[in-house]
């Protein structure tokens, strides 16, 4: 049963405060801007006021410095690692009328929900692409797609094995729900609970969500509070850039993160930055607030500076070239070879059917093509799931990250999982390319004991063992 949200306003999101802060920040002095840059350059994060000042920057010299600091933070904390994952859509039944979404309830199409046998086939298809981490996705329909169905899907995916391959971490992106339901998700062994706010502006939110459970702004916006109360300390937020003023959305995201840090000891584990794309039913809809490429890069860089230790995710909504640019601005996770409709990995091929996509993709490259491109750029594709499995989550993860020690596990584990991918799914050319990068990066591991353990783990992988991590 849905719990009461008697206070329809959300205390940590005050639209008037956000607008006032943005307006006042346009008048920041050069001394204030310099102070903020110096603070950002020392990886201290930013206050909402400081974020607003950066959002209002217009001088090219300021923009250049902004990107320089974002790149420095990305390289120092995360190195060249990029976490790879894939979405798994299990149901497109939905009772919400979200004007931007291909699954909005007024769209007429043959809606589908995978059986558990079909979930297993989809999981096998994803595993054969080399993935170890997925984001499980479903529309909101408590009658046709209730929590028990989601829990069954999680069990099925975790139980699916293909040769050496398996899914080791399931992140879940489903509708806002109750504390009791979040407890069941935690008990099922999920990784991160993900929910996109879409837009933090209550008026804009109301227009884009005219009906359905999701139209309750307060219920949706306080979902992470209930998740934390249920013991889920890894949560991932995001806004759909293009619905409301992108500066408003970015500042609101930071206020939401601040609320979680103050209340539960850890903010967002990840922040996603999807940008509006065409979808069924809204192909001709105009989005006057959609940020152009340069503005979008600036927003990603500011988020990276504001929350240095939070992962930032980009999907196949963006083109290959834009994804390359955004990695340079601070992106640390990306999907690859994504099927953005139900049954898109295996089931539809067997049935010779085509699923309705939730949105249009821009990056159509195969997983192998993405991996080869990343290697050519000196990037390290990471399939690591060790932190979750070692209970390095929530405030424990943040403490490790802020101390600088996280690189002693993330870099070695990224190299080890890359070795797994190359041996199990790469051709000869990709293996040559990948192991040359592994050898070069191995020498960069500063601690001799960590370097030695990593060499032993990769030797074990080459000898046929799997799932070795620190």
Q: How far apart are CA 237 and CA 247, in angstroms?
A: 16
The sign one gets for the Cα dihedral 165, 126, 304, 185 is negative
Q: Helix 320-329 crosses helix 60-73 at what angle (to 10 degrees)?
A: 80
Residue whose tokens read 């963006």: 318
Residue 161: beta bridge partners? 166
pTM of the predicted model as reported, rounded to 2 decimal places = 0.95
From first to last of the 470 residues of the chain, give the pLDDT tens digit: 455 444 457 999 999 999 999 999 999 999 999 999 999 999 999 999 999 999 999 999 999 999 999 999 999 999 999 999 999 999 999 999 999 999 999 999 999 999 999 999 999 999 999 999 999 999 999 999 999 999 999 999 999 999 999 999 999 999 999 999 999 999 999 999 999 999 999 999 999 999 999 999 999 999 999 999 999 999 999 999 999 999 999 999 999 999 999 999 999 999 999 999 988 888 778 999 999 999 999 999 999 999 999 999 999 999 999 999 999 999 999 999 999 999 999 999 988 888 888 888 899 999 999 999 999 999 999 999 988 788 888 887 888 778 777 778 899 999 999 999 999 999 999 999 999 999 999 999 989 999 999 999 999 999 999 999 98
Q: What is the pLDDT of residue 71?
A: 96
Q: What is the pLDDT of residue 8?
A: 57
Q: How far apart are CA 132 and CA 421, in angstroms?
A: 10
Asked if 270 and 393 touch (Cβ cutoff 8 Å), the reply is no
Q: Which of 245, 224, 221, 197 is nearest to 98 (CA)?
A: 197
Q: What is the pLDDT of residue 3?
A: 52
Q: What is the pLDDT of residue 4?
A: 44
Q: How far is CA 402 from the centre of its chain?
A: 20
Q: What is the pLDDT of residue 392?
A: 85
Q: What is the pLDDT of residue 2?
A: 53
**Cα–Cα distances in angstroms (integers) from residue 179 to residues 226, 264, 277, in the given order:** 5, 15, 32
Q: What is the pLDDT of residue 6?
A: 40
SS3 of the chain: CCCCCCCCCCCCCCHHHHHHHHHHHCCCCHHHHHHHHHHHHCCCCCCHHHHHHHHCCCCHHHHHHHHHHHHHHHHHHHCCEEEEEEEEEEECCCCCECCCCCCCCCCCCCCCECCHHHHHHHHHHHHHCCCCEEEEEECCECCCECHHHHHHHHHHHHHCEECCEECCEEEEECCCCCHHHHHHHHHCCCCCEECCCECCCHHHHHHHCCECHHHCHHHHHCHHHHHHHCCCCCEEEEECECCCCHHHHHHHHHHHHHHHHHHHCCCCCEEECCECCCCCCCCCCCCCCCCCHHHHHHHHHHHHHHCCCCEEEECCCCCHHHHHHHHHHCCCEEECCCCCCCCCCCHHHHHCCCCCCCCCCCCCCCHHHHHHHHHHCCCEEECCCHHHHCCCCHHHHHHHHHCCCCHHHHHHHHHHHHHHHHHHHCCHHHHHHHHHHHHHHHCCCCCHHHHHHHHHHHHHHHCCCCCCCC
């Amino acid at each position: 049963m849905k719990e009461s949200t008697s206070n329809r306003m959300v205390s940590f999101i005050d639209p008037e405060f956000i607008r006032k802060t943005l307006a006042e920040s346009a008048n920041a002095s050069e001394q204030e801007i310099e102070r903020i840059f110096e603070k950002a350059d020392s990886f201290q994060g930013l206050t909402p006021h400081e974020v607003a000042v950066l959002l209002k920057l217009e001088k090219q010299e300021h923009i250049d410095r902004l990107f320089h600091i974002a790149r420095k933070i990305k390289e120092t904390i995360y190195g060249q690692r990029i976490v790879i994952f894939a979405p798994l859509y299990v149901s497109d039944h939905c009772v919400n009328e979200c004007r931007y979404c291909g699954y909005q309830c007024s769209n007429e199409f043959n809606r589908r929900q995978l059986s558990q046998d079909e979930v297993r086939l989809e999981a096998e298809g994803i595993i054969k692409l080399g993935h170890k981490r997925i984001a499980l996705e479903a529309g909101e329909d408590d009658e046709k797609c209730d929590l028990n169905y989601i829990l069954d899907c999680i069990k099925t995916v975790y139980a699916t094995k293909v040769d050496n391959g398996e899914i080791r971490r399931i992140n879940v992106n489903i509708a806002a729900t109750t504390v009791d339901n979040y407890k069941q998700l935690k008990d099922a062994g999920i990784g991160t609970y993900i929910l996109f706010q879409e837009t933090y502006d209550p008026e804009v939110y109301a227009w884009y969500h005219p009906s359905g459970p999701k139209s309750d702004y307060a219920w949706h916006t306080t979902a992470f509070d209930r998740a934390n109360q249920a013991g889920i300390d890894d949560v991932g937020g995001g806004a759909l850039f293009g619905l409301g003023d992108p500066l408003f959305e970015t500042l609101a995201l930071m206020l939401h993160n601040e609320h979680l840090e103050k209340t539960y000891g850890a903010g967002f584990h990840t922040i996603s930055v999807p940008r509006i794309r065409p979808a069924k039913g809204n192909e001709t809809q105009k989005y006057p607030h959609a940020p152009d490429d340069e503005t979008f890069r600036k927003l990603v860089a500011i988020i990276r500076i504001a929350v240095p230790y939070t992962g930032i995710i980009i999907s196949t909504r963006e083109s290959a070239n834009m994804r390359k640019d955004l990695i340079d601005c601070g992106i640390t996770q990306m999907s690859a070879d994504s099927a953005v409709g139900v049954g898109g990995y295996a089931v539809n091929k067997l049935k010779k059917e085509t699923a309705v996509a939730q949105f249009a993709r821009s990056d159509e490259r195969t997983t192998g093509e993405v991996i080869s491109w990343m290697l050519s750029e000196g990037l390290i594709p990471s399939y690591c799931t060790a932190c979750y499995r070692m209970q390095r989550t929530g405030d424990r993860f943040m403490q490790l990250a802020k101390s600088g020690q996280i690189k002693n596990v993330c870099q070695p584990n990224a190299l080890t999982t890359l070795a797994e991918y190359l041996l199990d799914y790469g051709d000869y050319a990709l293996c040559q390319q990948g192991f040359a990068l592994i050898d070069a990066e191995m020498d960069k591991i500063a601690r001799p004991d960590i370097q030695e353990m990593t060499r032993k783990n990769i030797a074990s992988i080459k000898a046929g063992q799997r799932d070795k991590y620190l």
